[in-house]
Structure 1
Amino acid sequence: MTDHVILFRERQRFKQFWLWIILLGAATVFWAGFIYQVILGGQFGNRPVSDVQLAILLGLMGVGMPWFFYKMNLSTEVRPGEIQLRFWPFHVKPKIIPLHLVRDFEQVIYNPIGDYGGWGIRWGFKGKAYNMSGNEGVKLYFYNRKPLLIGSQDAPALYEAIKLAKELR
């Protein structure tokens, strides 16, 4: 019965303003090219592709790429005895971290670019990280592998939930 109790739940999305400027700026180039070449009848670029190829590129880069980044999310759930992480679309099923494998954990403020090379699922010299935005999280230390950082917009609540989940297991 206690397996269904959720002590903490968070779903994060990419919120970085600069990321959306880049994504939407790139999508706008494909939209402009499509409108100019297919609808207005001009030639887009020095070596234009066919209208069909441009329509495919518009679908992939002008619609698909922004939609992909909009739908991408990191779900974190803390339950008694475990943490479930799911970074959609890369994890079909949640990655389950049994808390009996966690030696210690701490709430941290980190440098996403300097420590892990950015946001997302990242590997660095300091271990692995799952993060979407911000610079706060909880770092898990294991008995037999490198540390794992879980980024959170509410790191104190995540820390307290992990503490309680470890006691309840």
Structure 2
Amino acid sequence: MYKETQKFRQPWLWALLVYSMGVVIYSGQLVGVAIMLLVMALFWFLTLQTRIDQEGISYRWFPFQSSYRLIKWSTTEKAVVRDYAAISEFGGWGIRFSWTGMAHTVAGHHGIEIKRKGKKRILLIGTQHPKEVRTILSKEPLPVI
């Protein structure tokens, strides 16, 4: 079984959040400070957790989802690791929608593209370990193209 946990730890994101907090503190808005603290806590604790096992590929956004969402191998037409352009393909990172499908990403430009049987749209789940995931997908006796 493969497990991966991704967190929002990009320096540019935290610089933006700290700068925004400084602006709110400078303006003296206590409600704004409370909101910014909540937003910063959200980004600190939010994690994208991914599992690959004999059942399929599962993911969840902790702490918002208590259970994993499973894409079973029996409903999967293909699952491949590919490079993607977060901004031009999906408009950024996070839970994103586009004409081609849906993405669950935290950072970077590598993801597991999943094409489900009978569906036109894809599901992309970001990964920080593309080589390891490629190896796992190629070794498992899974219906992967």
Taking structure 1 as the reference length, the TM-score comes to 0.75
Q: Distance in 2 between matches of 1:24 and 1:57?
A: 13
Q: Is the 8 A contact 1:16 1:133 kept in 2?
A: yes
Question: Residue 165 of structure 1: CA displacement?
Answer: 6.2
Map residues 17-96 of structure 1 onto 2, 5 A cutoff.
Answer: 17-34=11-28, 54-61=29-36, 63-96=37-70
The whole-number CA distance in structure 2 between the counterparts of 1:120 and 1:165 is: 30
Displacement, 1:121? Answer: 0.9
Structure 2 residues not aligned, in runs of 5+: none
1:106 is matched with 80
Please say if 1:159 is aligned against 2:120.
no
- Aligned length, in residue pairs: 141
Which residue matches 2:114? Answer: 140
Deviation by residue 1:131-155 (Cα, 9 ceiling, x = unmatched):
1000011211111221111110001
- How far off is 1:17 after superposition? 2.3
More strand by share: 2
> Whose radius of gyration is greater, 1 or 2?
1
8 Å Cα contact 1:81-1:165 kept in structure 2: no
Q: Which runs of 5+ in 1 are unaligned?
A: 1-6, 35-53
RMSD across aligned C-alpha pairs, in angstroms? Answer: 1.8
Segments ≥4 residues shifted beyond 3 Å: none
TM-score (ref. length: structure 2): 0.86
Q: Deviations over 1:37-73 (max 9, x none)?
A: xxxxxxxxxxxxxxxxx33332222x21111111111
Residue deviations 1:113-142 (CA, integer Å, cap 9, x gap): 111111011111221111100001121111
Q: Quick one: which amino acid aligns to residue 150 of structure 1? A: I
Shift of 1:159: 2.9
CA displacement, residues 3-42 of structure 1 (integer Å, 9 cap, x when unaligned): xxxx1111001233222111111112223344xxxxxxxx
Letter in 2 for 1:21: A
The secondary structure found in structure 2 opposite 1:141 is strand
Say which structure is richer in helix: 1
Task: Give how far 1:88 is off.
Answer: 2.5
